Structure 1
């Protein structure tokens, strides 16, 4: 299926590892130019180099997405470097454990407010595109409680559902779509579940077996859905929450 992404301009926050990296390379594989940011400057430089090696234009910056002014500046710089923006993917997450005040503060600033601030900064560029797309990465933890200290994390991922649904309705008339992808358990090296596997092998095995597919997702399986949603092939999909969990969740949406 031709997705029509060749020459499009995309920005992915948290784009150097795991799901974010897979999204960046998934978009690049379809011919989109890609901007990324992350806290680790060396990882950003290495990822940008690899993206350019795939034959597309790439741009990156070391960035704490909770710093509003710096995030807005990065979005402006990315749009100037790439010649505009067609796609925004808000992927960065604090992965904040527990229910303490600091965990909630981190999750609020990074998972929720970075998404809001990035959207506000990118909307003028996305509107100029004429076919803008926003995808926020939430989680099944936003709709079901899976433990592992996910109270702060799940609370802010749940807040994204309302924000993105409301945003979708407000920007629809401006030629912009807004959707959510909610991954289930996703395994990659040095990721959350890799650390659980190392530190709590019984808990890891229990979570693995709770999924009827008896496995966790690969980052590329999440990225493929994001790439499709970002494309013209999903031109009438907006305000949706796409769950990619291998049937792990049992909730029936109403």
Structure 2
């Protein structure tokens, strides 16, 4: 199935590793021009080298997403370099795993505000596209109890609400907005390989809650995202898509 992504322009914030890196690979393989950023120039360069074989245009830079002007400046530069923006996704995230002022502030600064600032900066560019799509990333920690009281879960619930409201506001501009709510996702450079080594009991307990007996892979999630942002899924906006291999037990509606 041709998703119609060839020639489209994707700007991905925080995609020098983990899920973002896999999404960059999948979109590039579909012929999408890709811009990425991350904290490490070495990691950014590594991803750019990895997708170079796809023959697409690419751009990348290292930046600190907690700086107020950093993400908007990157979005504008990326759109200029690629020749526009059809897809915007922010992957930046942090989780201190505690209910403290510092933890709330950390998630807001490293996760929520970079997403909001990036969307605001991308909006004028997306408005010029015939296939404009935004993806906001939440977490199954927002819909079921996970690791106790912590701001990460609460603020990821806020992302769902924000995404839904955006979808209504931006629909008139031809911009689709959907939210993805992943469960635990295994990528080679993501958190779960480290958790498996450092906290095997927690890792095994999480795995035991997977009815399939395995984690979602980064590529599985990335392919779902690629379909939703593609012109093949043009009627979907305002949705919350749970991709969790059955990890959450609620009825999904």
Q: TM-score w.r.t. structure 1 length?
A: 0.96
The one-character-per-residue Cα deviations of 1:214-254 (angstroms, maximum 9, x if unpaired) are 11111111101110111011101001110000111012245
Q: Deviations over 1:101-151 (max 9, x none)?
A: 11111111122111111110000000101221000121111111211x671
| Alpha-carbon distance, 1:95 to partner | 3.1
- The match for 2:244 is 245
1:231 and 2:230 correspond: yes
Deviations 1:62-110 (A, max 9, x none): 0122222111110000000000000001111123322121111111112
1:74 aligns with 2:92: no
Preserved contact between residue 112 and residue 159 of structure 1 (Cα < 8 Å): no
Match of 2:130 in 1: 130
C-alpha change, 1:150 and 1:37, in structure 2 (3 Å) is farther
Alignment check: 8 A CA contact 2:31 2:54 kept: no
Mapped to 2, the partners of 1:204 and 1:179 lie a distance apart of: 29
Counterpart CA distance in 2 for 1:102 and 1:39 is 20
Q: Which residue of 2 aligns with 1:17?
A: 17
Unaligned runs of 5+ in 2: none
RMSD between aligned residues: 1.3
Report the Cα distance in structure 2 between the residues aligned to 1:154 and 1:146, rounded to whole angstroms: 8
Q: Structure 1 pair 62/23, CA: closer, same or farther in 2 (3 Å)? A: same
Distance in 1 between the 2:176 and 2:72 partners?
Answer: 20
**Within-5 A mapping of 1:183-194:** 183-194=182-193
| Segments ≥4 residues shifted beyond 2 Å | 188-191
Greater shift after overlay, 180-189 or 116-125? 180-189
Corresponding residue number in structure 1 for 2:168: 169
Aligned to 1:63: 63
Unaligned runs of 5+ in 1: none
Partner Cα separation in structure 2 for residue 95 and residue 54 of structure 1 = 33
Count of paired positions: 253
- Aligned counterparts of 2:136 and 2:6: Cα–Cα separation in 1: 21
Partner of 1:102: 102
Distance in 2 (CA, whole Å) between partners of 1:222 and 1:121 is 25
CA distance in 2, matches of 1:51, 1:190: 17
Asked if the contact 1:111–1:157 (Cα under 8 Å) also holds between the matched residues in 2, the reply is no
Q: Please tell me whether the aligned partners of residues 141 and 150 of structure 1 are also in contact (alpha carbons under 8 angstroms).
A: no
Q: For 1:201 and 1:52, locate their aligned partners in 2 and report how far apart those are by CA, in whole Å.
A: 36
Alpha-carbon deviation of 1:153?
1.3
Instruction: State the partner residue of 1:156.
Output: 155
Partner Cα distance (1:179, 1:13) in 2 = 16
